[in-house]
Amino acid sequence: MKEAKPRVYFATKNRGKFLEAARVADSFKISLKHLKFEKQEIQAWNLTEIASHAAFQAAKVTNKNVVAEDAGFFVRALNGFPGPYSSYVFKTLGLEGILRLMRNVGNREAYFQAAVAYCKPSHRPVCFTGIVKGRVARHKRGTQGFGYDPIFIPSGGDERTFAEMGTDEKNLNSHRAKAFARFCRWFLGRSHGVSSETS
């Protein structure tokens, strides 16, 4: 008889995040299910704290084994802005607003960071992070992905933005893929005493 894949619920309202994460989980033979859940955002500068709080709440409310993620886009010349406020800034200033702030700026370094927290009901959350470095494009390019993808050029690539890549290619290098891969390795190995990793 075929062994059932372990199942984990991803509490997110962002379908783009879910599709990317599900592809990573699938490569580890973990079944990731979409739990359409409005995560309770606490005011914090720390993605790990926000993701852990969200996972704890979602596990409590749904009584399921849950992962939640908090991610942000950090621009060096803007002292890390929008960072943890990325979701709000995307809806208000938008990509054009960020490009305007960066119009005459030479240093265009930026990075994405993701924190993925796993929580079982009545347990403490465990968190995993991932980063991808790159820079802010001069103009929007590409139609794939979501959020800041059209203005982010990852380092070490061929100058395309994330929005000019498909999910599998973005996943080779993305903050989310790294954080989820760390979670998956831990999840599969936890019965052998493997602990959490971050970077």
Name the residues annotated as catalytic.
70
Neighbouring C-beta atoms of residue 45, cutoff 10 Å: 11
Structure tokens at 196: 């959490």
Give the separation between CA 73 and CA 33, rounded to whole angstroms. 25
Whole-number minimum distance, CB 72 to ligand ITT, in Å?
6
Whole-number minimum distance, CB 69 to ligand ITT, in Å?
6
Binding mask 128-147 for ligand ITT (x = CB under 6 A): -----------------xxx
Residues numbered 98 to 117 that lie near ligand ITT (CB under 6 A) are: 112
Kindly tell me which residue out of 86, 129, 161, 173 binds ligand ITT, with binding defined by CB under 6 A: 86
Give the separation between CA 20 and CA 54, rounded to whole angstroms. 19
Whose CA is closest to 66, among 110, 15, 112, 122? 122
Structure tokens at 14: 């962002």
Give the separation between CA 177 and CA 41, rounded to whole angstroms. 22
Residues numbered 19 to 78 that lie near ligand ITT (CB under 6 A) are: 39, 69-73
Residue with Cβ nearer ligand ITT (4 or 179): 179
Residues near ligand ITT (CB under 6 A) are 12-14, 17, 39, 69-73, 86-87, 90, 112, 145-149, 162, 174, 176
